[in-house]
Amino acid sequence: MLTANELLGFMSPAMANDILNYAFESDKPTYKATLNAVADARKVRGVFLERQSRPQRHAMMASTLSRPGLDAVAGGLIRAWLVQKHKAMLVDFLNALGIENKDGVVDDLPPSVTDEKLKAAVEKLLANYHHETVAIYLNAFNDMNQANWPNLKILLETDPRLQLGAHS
Neighbouring residues of 107: CB distance < 8 A, sequence distance ≥ 6: none
Residue range of the domain that includes 100: 87-162
> Where is the domain boundary, 44, 62, 85?
85
Are 80 and 104 in a shared domain?
Answer: no
**pLDDT (tens digit per residue) in 122-139:** 999 999 999 999 999 999
Are 9 and 80 in a shared domain?
Answer: yes
> Where is the domain boundary, 85, 113, 142?
85
Q: Assess if residue 168 is contained within a domain.
A: no
pLDDT for the residue 167: 43
Are 43 and 102 in a shared domain?
Answer: no
Whose CA is closest to 19, among 91, 93, 73, 99? 73
Q: Assess if residue 106 is contained within a domain.
A: yes
> Where is the domain boundary, 67, 85, 103?
85
As a whole number of angstroms, the distance between CA 32 and CA 29 comes to 5
**pLDDT (tens digit per residue) in 82-126:** 999 999 999 999 999 999 999 888 888 898 999 999 999 999 999
Residue 49 near residue 57, CB atoms below 8 Å: yes
Are 73 and 98 in a shared domain?
Answer: no
pTM (whole model) above 0.85: yes
Q: Assess if residue 47 is contained within a domain.
A: yes
Are 73 and 104 in a shared domain?
Answer: no
